[in-house]
Chain A
Amino acid sequence: MHEHNGSDSPSFLARLGGIDRRWIFLAMGLSIALPILLKLRFPEYPGPMAKATFDAIESVPEGSTVLVAFDYDPASAAELQPMANAMVHHCASRGHKIVFMALWTLGRQLADKAIEEVLLEFHPGLRYGTDYVQLGYQAGNEGVIKLMATNVPEQYKTDTKGTPLASLPLVAQIKSTADFALIASISAGYPGAKEWVQFAESANPEAFKLVCGSTGVQVSQLLPYYPKQLDGMLVAVKGAAEYEMLVEGKYPVEKNAERLGQGRVRMGPQLVAHMLMIGLIILGNIAMVAGRSRGGAR
């Protein structure tokens, strides 16, 4: 232990490097809470990936049967549910018939939520069995996809209500994944979009369009498949916000529009938090340089 006298004491900038981490936690908490409380919104400009996803769903003929897989759980819902909601609304507005399923145990509940809060809210005329079907969760990870690639009725004998698939007009004629016009995987990891590329797309190349929504941390694993195997990709909250702009632009809703704008709501905290991170990194480096020069001067 040694004591510093006045001249040896580190400068303010150098001391900044040893700041109590609780101040950083407080700053981060405020940078997330304030934009939410103040309802800060910023303009978003759709990027090429969001446009490609939008165009893929638009390019499928009206009334086609599409499969939407909810391959995530509540931990990632804040990041992925906004894009799932927008995608469900987009598909329904375009007149597509939607088959819901999940490769994650808790994905089924998130699909139920999208059905209740978006599909039935904005498209109340849709009927279960002919316009949409909920197949739910099946154990088996990529094994589920692999079997569905050749034989959907073998993998899913009934829907979540226990109704045999043969009794549901929408899925009665579905034999394999090739019978879907488009497959969308909203994915937070394994099993997810990567497995849909490897086991469904590779089994029936060009048979259907494949798009995905992905968390930010997973995107590097999926980039090699875009744009050939994956026709579109929504990346994290920003992807959701950009896609929401496109969907809302073409298919606006009259009431409860905030349900389709959750991606844009989350972009406010993301902007402030990212700026804080940049500020912290710069501050940390200034403190390092100040500490070094002080040490060098002595």
Chain B
Amino acid sequence: MLQRTIPIAILSLSGIILMLAYFSPLTTSWGETVLGWFNVLAAVAFVLGAGNLLRVNLERISAQRSGWAYSAITLVSFFAMLAFGLLKLGAVPSEKHPDKHFAGAYEGPTAPYGWMYEYVLSPLTATMFAMLAFYVASAAFRAFRAKNTESILLLGTAFIILIAQTAAGMFLTGWIPQDSVFAFLRFDSMKIAITEYIQTAGMRAITIGIALGVAATSLRLILGVDKSYLSKS
């Protein structure tokens, strides 16, 4: 009983306080207190996330499931970075307190933590992101086909944006005077028309829909109608 009542009470109280804090300056400090709790919980979520990472990967290694070697690499990397960061291994001694190990800096590339960030993490994440270009090119070649009116519209829009996002747009149509009746044929003008009118109009509709959904869901949670976030046990 208490396992369900207390979380619902905390959620309802926090939600009501935050709403009041938005409208009434008298309750601003209450809202700040609740937000302080929220930020502490967000930080604790990192610990939970680390625990979950451990559990999932240890399970995979112990069961020798396919890809277990990747799990082992993940855990070794995780513990290495944790040790370099928490224990400040190899930290550069502080000028003010050279005798105090934990006063040292560990973010620079001369310390193991900074080195791992600069020369392992940064290039790896950038590489992962950069690989998208290759897959997008391959997918565009195979899937972007003008089969019907909708796909022709999509293709036309894609061409305009792809050209307008480079110097080719100005090279091809930049000679058309901006104040002439044909200015709408300039790629930069077409891009603005697509993004600021068509795209924005669609996105506004979606955003308003999402906002209404969020408001409705929040109210259901605050009033205790929706309890799906609680454990069933």
Contacts and interface: CB of A to CB of B under 8 A. Distances in A.
Q: Do A and B come from one complex?
A: yes
Nearest to B174: A45
A75 B107 contact: no
B158 A281 contact: yes
B146 A285 contact: yes
A119 to B, nearest CB: 16
A25 B121 CA distance: 24
Contact of B203 (A32, A77, A112, A221): A221
Contacts of A74: 121-122, 125-126
B153 interface: no
Contacts of B122: 74, 77
Contacts of A220: 195, 199, 203
Contacts of A275: 166, 168
B223 to A, nearest CB: 22
A166 interface: no
B166 A274 contact: yes
A139 B168 CA distance: 42
A288 interface: yes
Contact of B138 (A24, A44, A77, A288): A24
| A contact residues, range | 35 or more
Interface residues of B, number: 54
Contacts of B125: 73-75
A154 B155 CA distance: 50
Contacts of B195: 219-220, 223
B167 interface: yes
Interface string A168-209: 000000000000000000000000000000000001000000
Contacts of B145: 284-285, 288
Interface in A54-105: 73-78
A223 B42 contact: no
A276 interface: yes
User: Lowest 6 A-B CB distances belong to which pairs?
Assistant: A42-B167, A140-B39, A271-B166, A74-B122, A75-B125, A139-B43
Given A139-B45, A276-B137, 5 more contacts: A77-B126, A216-B165, A224-B200, A271-B168, A273-B133
26 contacts: A17-B142, A25-B137, A28-B134, A28-B137, A32-B133, A45-B170, A47-B188, A47-B192, A109-B117, A138-B39, A139-B42, A139-B46, A143-B35, A223-B199, A224-B200, A238-B165, A238-B166, A273-B133, A274-B168, A275-B166, A277-B136, A277-B162, A280-B141, A281-B141, A284-B144, A285-B145
